[in-house]
Amino acid sequence: MGYIIWIILIVFVVGSVLTKAGATRKDIPEIFKWLGIHFIKVALLLTAIYLLGKLTGTL
In order, the DSSP letters of 3-51 are: HHHHHHHHHHHHHHHHHHTT--TTHHHHHHHHHHHHHHHHHHHHHHHHH
State the residue range of the domain holding 42: 2-56
Picking from 4, 31, 33, 38, the residue whose alpha carbon sits closest to that of residue 16 is 31
Cβ-contact 1, 10 below 8 angstroms: no
> How many distinct structural domains can be found in the chain?
1
DSSP assignment letter at 57: T
Q: Is the whole-model pTM more than 0.95?
A: no
- Residue 59: the pLDDT is 65
pLDDT-flagged residues of the chain (< 70): 1, 59
